[in-house]
Structure 1
Amino acid sequence: MNKHKTSKSSPAQEKITILKVQEPAELMSFLIEAMPSRGRNALKSILARGQVFVDSKPVTKYNHPLQPGQQVSIHWAKVMEQVKLVGVHILHEDEDLIVIQKEAGLLSVSATKDVEEVTAYRQLMEYVRRSNPKNRIFVVHRLDRDTSGVMMFAKNEKTQQALQNAWQDAVLERSYIALVEGEVKKPEGTITSWLKESKTLLMYSSHKEDDGQKAITHYTVMQTTREFSLLQVELETGRKNQIRVHMKDIGHPVVGDKKYGSKTNIIGRLGLHARILAFEHPTTGKALKFESRIPEKFMRPFQK
């Protein structure tokens, strides 16, 4: 028995597929059964873009209840206005997480309750709720406001907890590019200290064992002049302001980092970029690696 009566508009009109509801069902299940050749992910996208109407009203909820006699129409040319992401570019998305590239100057997560403040977190929350108002995102880690590069958020609490609880094992590579002041003469090195936070919220190093959170930073010199050095930095631990404090400790503060001793700002921003994030997916177990290009500004001091 055909449960779905289907008709299509004429070529001269906007292309529309019309489906008649014959028995009670949820919208997503109805669409899968009515259009099996489309595939679940394609149908999710159609819903998210606001192309599905029930009795002439746009619906994006997967579980929207349908009753016999209702009409479901898919407007193939109509696309609901997408959430415009500012300072955020999505590199990867699946059912469990979103990997993004964040621009410098954008907060990862707000430190206040100011709902008007633009952050990566708030924008992504609005983005996932466009397809289902019950969707949420969860913070896994952060990048400083003035640090650009790759970071990720979880799309459910289970994924968040899995990543945070096994962060050291789950993260296979976390690599940064740092433009620092002065000529770093050792071609590579490791900095180890215990990080603490002052009453003025400034992080600083203690070299007494267990006097704070242990922080280990590895660096390799990529390019250098008498005035500046470009470093590849690998984090063995991920502490607040870790790279910035450790660069200050070795006498080569990150360019533009006045808070931690920088005296120059030739690129008009903090010289820190999260270049690579590689990790084991908490659900599939698959190794994923995401890489973003070194900002062109970072190369200025080395161009003749």
Structure 2
Amino acid sequence: MKFYYQLTPALIGVTIALVQTKVAMALSPTEVNNIAKQITVLIQSKKPRYGSGVIIKKEGNTYTVLTAAHVVEVQDNYEIITPDGQRYALNYSSVKPMPGVDLAVAQFTSSQNYNLAKIGNSDSSTEGTAAYVAGFPAPTFAINQSVYTFSNGTITANASKPLRDGYALVYSNNTSEGMSGGAVLNEKGELIAVHGRADLDTKEIKTGFNLGIPINTFLRLSAKTGVDVGVSAPNTPVATAPKADDFFIQAGEKYQKRDYKGAIADYTSALKINPNFALAYNNRGLTHSVLGD
């Protein structure tokens, strides 16, 4: 098992997450929340636009934040609000979108010490394992400011063939607009994905089919784009045949596009591979009910 921890090289002044073999025990939701609260930031523009991000690196007084690219896609005067409530100007010239996926990094400068995310192995996050999402929902009529939110859930699929923009991890947590770019953590408090997409119900609450981009996707791209966080993606064997998770995530995408018959076909394909995929049974039944079957 890989265990990721922080190290501050005294000579070069860079703090990054490095890898060491060690057994890591599962943490309680409260313990994971304490970790998430210290690494998750609010990203706010003057327009205003709201999003979230995760602190992943420190070099000198420069911090690097990982977020969803759509959070910072419009050039504007953004601020990063850190866990201690301090506001820092986001250096927009530092924004680097990752090619082909909905991820970007950005930087801010501070002399304060902030915690960094521990990088996990997203390939190890399988159906039924714990997932926690942290972020800052946008203000609503009821709550007129963006307040840190932490949501419990479970992984429902981890596809080997991602959807458009790199989304491949599916989880059941309830999330809201503004939490895009926030951390998705495992039961050890490690960063396994960046949150970015989900459905909306009539109350504008994202629920059920939540999507994140696996952290291993970022690690594979970061080396190519000059964003060094000191961690390499594991050498996971490439799937040679479709997984049940691949059909499940495609079904969810088709359901969102109201291609209900296509969704049913994909749920059925997922169940042929994994007859014990309970959520695929449930969602196929719900889709049949939408069609009036």
Per the normalisation by structure 2, the TM-score is 0.26
Larger Rg: 1
User: Which structure has more RCO (C-alpha within 8 Å, separation ≥ 6)?
Assistant: 2
Per the normalisation by structure 1, the TM-score is 0.25
